[in-house]
Each structure stands twice: as structure tokens, then as C-alpha cells.
């Protein structure tokens, strides 16, 4: 079964690399008009732009750690697309919030993590929902994490808490808005082959050891799931969270 997004406009945040880049490519291949976001210009953004038949200047650059960034981004998206059919909230940061050491690192870790991982996607969702209500519906896929369910390392509490918040807001709005044809889904990956995954040999060995499948997930696997959810093949899945972690955490 081929999943077709022809005629749909899809915003993908954090589209310059990793899951976002893979999602941009697969949605483009499925016929969508991809509106790609990144925090700033980069060679990665240039490459992704080419892969979706666009130019680097077509990217919308916005630093999501700044106040009201999500609202500013959505204003630019609607101006650019006029009609938006779907949003993929993928952009995120994985910063330490250490229990010991300097309090400044703790405070900075929490502040920036919550700004990028919670406030910005929440603001984007709020603006998107208002737009979808005017247009008769739409879909949102929020990228959360296995950590939102099981927690994370002792110095990554801010990250785990932020992804738990993403799961909670997705469920809340899915329950409230399904009757308006506004559908929300969450994806909770474990380790994915991106720059967030462990890179040093020992940590990589430990990470893979806890995955029964024997490897970390590939960005394309998450992107394929995004495409399925946006395709409209199963609207009854609204409110659900799809785990992609090689059975490392089974609920």
C-alpha cells in the first residue's frame, strides 16, 4: 500500500538532519509540499533542500529556544503555504541537567530544554490547531522519546521530563479535538542513528546491548512511521504513541 500525500502541505521542524531530514525526503517523495524548518543555515540544510527539490533559502530558519519562536514560525508557515495540512514537531535538544556541579549548567539545561522541547512545539500546536479549525482539519505528529516513559540517565532529567510533557499534551489534544478532524499522534523512539546517539565505542556498545533487536533504529524507520500517520490510513490511531526502540522498552 502506497501512502500518498499529494496536494498536502507539511511543516517539519528540525529538518536539516536526522529524523527531520529523513521525514522531509519521504514526505516529498509521497507528493507533499514540504515546508522545512531549521534553527539556522547549514550545509546539511543545503543538502536536504536539494533532496526535496528546493533551495536552501526555502528553509524557514527560527531559533526555537527564543520566546514566541513557535508562534513566529507558524505565522511564516501560513504566509508561505496559505493552507497547512500537517505538522511534524521533530526539532529538539538533548542537553545535560546535572544534579552535581555548577548550578548554572543545571539552570541552562532545564531552561533551554523546556523552551525547545516543550514550549516551542506547544506553541506550534496551538497555532496549527487554530489554523486546522478554519480549514476543516489536519494532523500533528509530535516526536517524543522512550525517555518520556521510562526516564533517562541521572543527568538528563530535563530531557526526560520534556518528552513526558510532549506525550501528555499530545494525548490531551487528541482526546479533545478528534471530533473536529484534528488528529494528533506521538512517536517515542529509543536510540536512533543521529547525532544524539552515543558515538564513543563504550557507550555505543552499552546502548546496543540493551536493544533486543541488536541495533539502533534508523531515521528512515521513524520517517516511514510519520508518513503512515500523516497519510490518513488510520485516523483511529489518533492519541496513540508508537514506540520505535527495538524492544528495549516494551509497555
Angle between helices 43-51 and 18-29 (to 10 degrees): 20
Compute how many other C-beta atoms are within 10 angstroms of the C-beta atom of residue 137. 14
Residue 251: inside a domain: no
Percent pLDDT > 90 in the chain is 89
Q: What is the pLDDT of residue 56?
A: 78
Please identify which residue in the block is written with the cell numbers 541488536: 214
The alpha helices in 60-156, defined as continuous H runs, are: 69-81, 103-114, 120-135, 147-150
- Whether 2 maps to a domain, the answer reads no
- Cα 95 from Cα 105, distance rounded (Å): 9
> What pLDDT shows up at residue 57?
80
Q: What is d(CA 211, CA 159) in angstroms, rounded to the nearest whole number?
A: 20
The CA-based diameter of the chain, rounded to the nearest angstrom, is 53
Which range of residues forms the domain containing residue 48?
9-241
DSSP H helices in the chain: 18-29, 43-51, 69-81, 103-114, 120-135, 147-150, 157-177, 201-209, 219-230
Looking at the domain assignment, is residue 249 inside a domain? no
The answer to whether 59 and 37 are in contact (CB under 8 A) is: yes
Residue 91 maps to a domain: yes
Q: What stretches in the chain show pLDDT beneath 50? A: none
Please check whether residue 192 lies inside any domain of the structure: yes
Residue 49 lies in a domain: yes
pLDDT of residue 209: 86
Residues in Cβ contact with 144 at an 8 Å cutoff, skipping those fewer than 6 apart: 163, 164, 166, 167, 170, 186, 187, 188, 241
161: β partners: none
Tell me which of 57, 94, 159, 185 is the catalytic residue: 159
CATH code, domain carrying 155:
3.40.50.720
Specify if 248 maps to a domain.
no
* Total domains present in the chain: 1
Q: Are 154 and 116 in contact (CB under 8 A)?
A: no
Residue 159 belongs to a domain: yes
Is residue 159 part of the annotated active site? The answer reads yes
pTM for the full model?
0.95
Taking all residues of the chain, what is their mean pLDDT, rounded to a whole number? 95
pLDDT of residue 207: 78
pLDDT score for 200: 60
Q: Residue 49 is placed in which grid cell?
A: 533542500
Amino acid at each position: 500500500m502506497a501512502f500518498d500525500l499529494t496536494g498536502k502541505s507539511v511543516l517539519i521542524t528540525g529538518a536539516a538532519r536526522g529524523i527531520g531530514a529523513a521525514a522531509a525526503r519521504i514526505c516529498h517523495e509521497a507528493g507533499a509540499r514540504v515546508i522545512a524548518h531549521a534553527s539556522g543555515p547549514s550545509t546539511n540544510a543545503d543538502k536536504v533542500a536539494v533532496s526535496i527539490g528546493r533551495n536552501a533559502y526555502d528553509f524557514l530558519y527560527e531559533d526555537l529556544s527564543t520566546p514566541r519562536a513557535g508562534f513566529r514560525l507558524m505565522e511564516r508557515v501560513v504566509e508561505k503555504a496559505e493552507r497547512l495540512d500537517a505538522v511534524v514537531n521533530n526539532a529538539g535538544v538533548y542537553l545535560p541537567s546535572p544534579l552535581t556541579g555548577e548550578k548554572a549548567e543545571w539552570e541552562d539545561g532545564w531552561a533551554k530544554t523546556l523552551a525547545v522541547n516543550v514550549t516551542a512545539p506547544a506553541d506550534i500546536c496551538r497555532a496549527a490547531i487554530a489554523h486546522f479549525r478554519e480549514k476543516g482539519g489536519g494532523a500533528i505528529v509530535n516526536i517524543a522519546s522512550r525517555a518520556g516513559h521510562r526516564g533517562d540517565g541521572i543527568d538528563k532529567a530535563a530531557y526526560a521530563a520534556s518528552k513526558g510533557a510532549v506525550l501528555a499534551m499530545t494525548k490531551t489534544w487528541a482526546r479533545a479535538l478528534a471530533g473536529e478532524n484534528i488528529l494528533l499522534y506521538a512517536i517515542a523512539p529509543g536510540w536512533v542513528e543521529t547525532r544524539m546517539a552515543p558515538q564513543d565505542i563504550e557507550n555505543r556498545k552499552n546502548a546496543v546491548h540493551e536493544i533486543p533487536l541488536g541495533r539502533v533504529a534508523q531515521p528512515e524507520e521513524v520517517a516511514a512511521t510519520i508518513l503512515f500517520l500523516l497519510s490518513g490510513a488510520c485516523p483511529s490511531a489518533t492519541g496513540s504513541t508508537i514506540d520505535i526502540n527495538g524492544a528495549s522498552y516494551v509497555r
